[in-house]
Amino acid sequence: MVKKEEYARTVAYVLDAFAKAGIILTDAEKGNIEVADFGLSDLDNVGLQLLVYVNTERCCAKEMVLKPYQTCPEHRHMDGVENGVPYVGKEETFRVRRGTCYLYVDGEGKKEDIQARLPNTPVTVFHEIVLHEGEQYTMHPNTNHWFQAGPEGAIVSEFSTKSRDEADVFTDGRIRRIPEVEA
């Protein structure tokens, strides 16, 4: 659970990062920043901040903000069934706007060789893609992935099919994706 003052401090960090990057939000959006600690209560190590611009049945766009060395834990977007209708897992493109993003996906690569710091959550894939400002990478469904910001934090735009966060499958069995902020 994210403590109330940690939430406020983190939202202030996010708004400052957006302002410095020239990313303009409405006042309503500024009040709608999501801070996810994935139920681990270790936000600065494992966590993610998001602003969802749009998420329809067909497509989704959001901005993600990571603090320095903060990690979004390993997960995959599986095919599934919703209201009796089968769907294909989420496809997503990450585009780095500010900072550096170390992204790890299924494929060749050894734990010992990666540039990211090993986070406080289990990770099993180590094929490294380093995304600098202006660079992007498209991930296909059913692929394990995790990512971490470099020393300056990162702002990453995500363009994707529909987001169904509650359907994400995390490697770390402790994780619950339902956002929880102290009342």
- Return residues touching a second copy (CB under 8 A): 21-26, 29, 53-54, 56, 58-61, 88, 91, 93, 95, 97-98, 133-136, 138, 157, 159-161
Phi (first) and psi of residue 179, to 5 degrees? -60, 135
Instruction: Tell me the CB-side half-sphere exposure of residue 100, using CA atoms within 13 A.
Output: 10
Cα three-residue angle 13-96-151, rounded to 5 degrees: 55
Complex with a second copy: residue 44 or 133, whichever CB lies closer:
133
Complex with a second copy: residue 58 or 110, whichever CB lies closer:
58
Shortest reach from residue 166's CB to a second copy, in Å: 20
Shortest reach from residue 122's CB to a second copy, in Å: 30
| Alpha-carbon distances, residue 156 vs 65, 71, 102 (angstroms) | 6, 13, 11
Shortest reach from residue 163's CB to a second copy, in Å: 11
Complex with a second copy: residue 5 or 83, whichever CB lies closer:
83
Shortest reach from residue 131's CB to a second copy, in Å: 11
| Alpha-carbon distances, residue 183 vs 34, 52, 87 (angstroms) | 14, 22, 35
Phi (first) and psi of residue 14, to 5 degrees? -65, -45
Complex with a second copy: residue 56 or 124, whichever CB lies closer:
56
